[in-house]
Amino acid sequence: MAIRLVTYEHSEALPKLPDYNVFHSVSLFRILERTSGYSPFMLVAFDGEKPIAKMLCIIRRSWPMQKCVIYDCCDYFDTDLKHDVIFNELLSYFTSRNRQNFSVIEFRNLSEPLFGYKYFRKNGYFPIRRLRVINSIHHSTLDKWMGASRKRQIQLGLKNGAVMGVADNKQEVRDFFRMLKNYYSSKIFKYLPGMDFFMELLELGKDSERVGKIFTVSYEGKIIGGSFCLFSGDTVFLLFSGGMRKSYPLLYPGVLAVWNAMTYSREKGYSHFEFIDAGLPFKKYGYRDFILRFGGKQLSTRRWYRLKWGWLNRIMEKIYV
């Protein structure tokens, strides 16, 4: 039976679908469609009337460019069809319909680096190597591979009065967002969604336990650091983190922002903790050096890109393929 593909621009129109991968979840779709600057849509594959896979496509508007980002490849359901066969259909359909709609299409954070290689190439995508950093957090001691200096920073920060917590009200979310926005203002290649993204997560209430959490670091009632994570399967993904390290150097707010998320994740039974962006390989990158000191393992992966301008896309293919 032929695979049938349907595009849903509004979450209310979706049929009942299971959620295995948070990056393609209905909950994340609902949060993003209520976030300014985003226009997500969901592509669902059916075998007859049975849904067999879905792919959340996140459109990010930033004048004069419009970018579409897909995290991982797809979320697959119970089916006898091979995943690569389904992905081939989804990718070909998505690309043929949207090749001129977005300045850049990007597939990133692939859980299997080699998955779909020939299908990406067939549809005119080019790969750029990236790095992943993953921590195993299911061992008897969470800091098993952590450096001595990092352990000392955590101990000093807590001893000097820093308090780790989880944001559970609107005022804490506002304070967290202001701190993080100020931190990211100097990061040229970092994109931070608006405050409404984090507010929508808070509005999920108990359901947010299945999607993500905002972690805070405070001192004398003021939020001086924090992080934001998404939960998927047995893995926690850290998307944003930062701290007022220059104003509070002896409290190590940036370090505690990560440590807070890691300790919470372990307490909740997760096995792995992944930093969503560890940068390009063979390039000095301060953030990667920072996160590696938590004891994680560095792995190689790739992102796939397709540009709206055919001539430029062909040049990039010659360079990177």
Q: Is residue 1 pLDDT above 60, yes or no?
A: no
Radius of gyration of the chain (CA): 20
CATH number, domain 133-300: 3.40.630.30
Average pLDDT over residues 268-285: 86
Q: What are the pLDDT digits (tens) for 40-58?
A: 999 999 999 999 999 999 9
pLDDT at 285: 79
Q: Residue 42 is encoded by which pair of tokens?
A: 């969901």
User: Could you tell me the pTM of the whole model?
Assistant: 0.94
Q: How far is CA 120 from CA 214, 282, 304, 317, in A?
A: 34, 24, 7, 11
What mean pLDDT do residues 151-171 have? 96
pLDDT band at 313; cut points 50, 70, 90? very high
Where along the chain do the CATH 3.40.630.30 domains lie?
A: 3-123, 133-300
Q: Report pLDDT for 32.
A: 96
Q: Angle at CA 155, nearest 5°, toward 152 and 156? A: 85
Q: What is the pLDDT of residues 89-142, one digit of tens each?
A: 999 999 999 989 999 999 999 888 888 999 999 999 999 999 899 999 988 889
Tokens linked to 299: 């792995």
The per-residue pLDDT for 293 is 93
- Which structure tokens are listed for 30? 């609902």
Confidence of residue 189 (pLDDT cuts 50, 70, 90): low
209-249 pLDDT, tens per residue?
789 999 999 999 999 999 999 999 999 999 999 999 999 99
Distance of CA 93 to the CA centre of its chain: 24
Residues 40, 273: Cα–Cα separation, whole Å: 26
pLDDT at position 111: 83
pLDDT at 258 over 70: yes
Give one DSSP letter per residue of 178-234, joined into a string: HHHHHHHTT-TT-----HHHHHHHHHTGGGGGGTEEEEEEEETTEEEEEEEEEEETT
| Residue 172: band (very low, low, confident or very high) from pLDDT cuts 50, 70, 90 | very high
Class of domain 3-123 as given by CATH: alpha beta
Query: Pairing mode, if any, of strands 104-108 and 65-71?
Result: parallel
State residue 62's pLDDT score: 74
Are 293 and 149 spatial neighbours (Cβ–Cβ below 8 Å)? Answer: yes
Q: Could you tell me which of 256, 280, 241, 294 has the C-alpha nearest to residue 132?
A: 280
